[in-house]
Amino acid sequence: MIRVESLVKKFGDLSAVDGVSFDVGAGEIFAFLGPNGAGKTTTIQMLTTLLVPTSGTIAIDGLDPRTRAHEVRRRFGIVFQDPSLDSELTAYENMELHGVLYHVPRRIRTERIERLLTLFELWDRRKTLVKQFSGGMKRRLEIARGLLHTPKILFLDEPTLGLDPQSRNQLWTHVKHLNETEGVTVFLTTHYMDEADRVAHRIAIIDHGRLVAQGTAQQLKQQTNTDSLEHAFLALTGSTIRDERADAADQMRQVVRMWRR
């Protein structure tokens, strides 16, 4: 369903993604793990038509995102790592807008919005402007929105960042259910190894823009001679802490935060 070969993305002389190749089969749940700044989000941005690769090939359901962007976009849904809600609209309006953008018919749209907002306990706050939401509520709304339509491929970029255990549990239960009943292929990234261990069929670990290991959780543990995925991850990527460069958008948000308080 997703085929990537020798994918490279350079920003200036920095290689964010440096020759990555992998395959994700139809109906598979694939976890893409790595420390901060390893190239996870950049890879997802290239897979989802938001960035053009420097070199290498991508096939989403056999289609190249560079030349068939529109057809590729019909095939996936995504929950972004960073905020992508319109904070001047209400929770319901954000859902509704998404439903229209993804051509979900009105009747199904109304029904699903209610079901998802209820599932993530936002139904009572549906008429509240998103800018009045707490961080956790915004996150839940992003996820509810990402699940509104049923795509062939679902990208989840650190979806559980900032979520409480209850919502996290709801999310993964729902994702597994989608995968089992609708055959949705899932491509996810996370920092919580237990989640990857629990839901993913296969795992790839990326560090400094390169894949360092690939396989089932069991295989990764065997390969590194460790007893948990967390230890396997640390064995493969080392224990130094990484910093991501703050980009223009982050700096901007900091300035705005400064002014609002």
Partner 1 sequence: MSVIYILWLRELKRYSRSRAQVFASLGSPVLYLIAFGFGLGPVFQRAGQGSYLQFVAPGVIGMSVLFASIFSGIGLLWDRQFGFLKETLVAPVPRLHIMIGRTLGGATVSMLQGSLVLILCLIAGFRPAHITDIPLAVMFMALIAIVFAALGTAIGSTLQNMQGFQLIMNFLVMPIFMLSGALFPLANLPVGLTVATRVDPLTYGIDGLRGAFIGLWYFSLPADVLVLGGVASVFLVLGARAFSRIQI
**Footprint of partner 1 (CB under 8 A):** 45, 48-52, 70, 73-74, 76, 78, 80, 82-89, 93, 96-98, 100-103, 129, 248-249, 252-253, 256
- The least distance separating partner 1 from the CB of residue 257, rounded to whole angstroms, comes to 12
Q: Closer to partner 1 by CB, 92 or 233: give it.
A: 92
- The least distance separating partner 1 from the CB of residue 78, rounded to whole angstroms, comes to 6
Q: Closer to partner 1 by CB, 53 or 209: give it.
A: 53
Q: Closer to partner 1 by CB, 55 or 166: give it.
A: 55
- The least distance separating partner 1 from the CB of residue 7, rounded to whole angstroms, comes to 16
- The least distance separating partner 1 from the CB of residue 142, rounded to whole angstroms, comes to 9
- The least distance separating partner 1 from the CB of residue 54, rounded to whole angstroms, comes to 12
- The least distance separating partner 1 from the CB of residue 25, rounded to whole angstroms, comes to 23
CA distance 140 to 135: 9
Dihedral sign from CA coordinates of 148, 152, 154, 155:
negative
Q: Closer to partner 1 by CB, 145 or 202: give it.
A: 145
In the three-class reduction of DSSP (H, G, I as helix; E, B as strand; rest coil), residue 136 is classed as: helix
Q: Closer to partner 1 by CB, 90 or 237: give it.
A: 90
**C-alpha distances in angstroms, 91 versus 9, 68, 158, 260?**
35, 32, 21, 21
153-186 in b/e form (b: 16+ CB < 10 A) is bbbbbbbbeebeeebbebbbebbeebbeeeebbb
CA distance 156 to 189: 6
In terms of DSSP bridges, do strands 29-33 and 210-215 run parallel, antiparallel, or are they unpaired?
unpaired
In the three-class reduction of DSSP (H, G, I as helix; E, B as strand; rest coil), residue 255 is classed as: helix
CA distance 232 to 87: 40
Q: Closer to partner 1 by CB, 42 or 237: give it.
A: 42
